[in-house]
Amino acid sequence: MVDRVFDRSNALYVKKVPGKGRGLFANIPFKTGDLIERAPTWSFYDREASLIDRTGILEYYFVRLDKNIQIDPIARYVVFGLASLVNHSLRPNAQTVWADEESGAWASIVAIKDINVDEEITQTYNNISDYPESVKFVE
């Protein structure tokens, strides 16, 4: 059995993390400000969230708190690709940077600290309160 699955560029890999499930890891060093991953998204809002939150997708979507969004200041996005596997941390080394383009919203995972080879890439989730009590977050 393979314990690491690499992306096509070999810059990132996915492996299981005890207590967390799958996580995204650096296979190359990233410097503060480096783009780690850029992914397309599908957006949804409160009406759909009430249904989606009852499924496993809850653990994979991103919440974008942005007062500049004209439709809804709290938008939710299914983020495709490896970006969806970035785990939560209170001491993150990356963050999501949003871009609205003609083709839709894009989520970029950007390093906010230097990240070493084999270090897990993490960010702070905006929607911890949406998770059921049965989901426990580990550092």
Asked whether residue 133 is assigned to any structural domain, the reply reads no
Asked whether residue 136 is assigned to any structural domain, the reply reads no
Nearest to 88 by CA among 118, 125, 37: 125
DSSP helix/strand/coil, 43: strand
Q: Are the C-beta atoms of 46 and 126 separated by less than 8 Å?
A: no
Burial (CB < 10 A; 0-12, 13-18, 19+), residue 53, is middle
Asked whether residue 16 is assigned to any structural domain, the reply reads yes
Q: Domain count for the chain, please give it.
A: 1
Asked whether residue 123 is assigned to any structural domain, the reply reads yes
pLDDT score for 34: 96
pLDDT score for 39: 92
pTM greater than the 0.95 cutoff: no
CA distance 18 to 41: 28
Asked whether residue 137 is assigned to any structural domain, the reply reads no
Q: Provide the CATH number for the domain around residue 104.
A: 2.170.270.10
Asked whether residue 17 is assigned to any structural domain, the reply reads yes
Asked whether residue 58 is assigned to any structural domain, the reply reads yes
Residues of the chain with pLDDT under 70: 1-2, 5-7, 65-74, 126-139
| Residues of the domain holding 100 | 5-128
pLDDT score for 50: 80
Asked whether residue 139 is assigned to any structural domain, the reply reads no
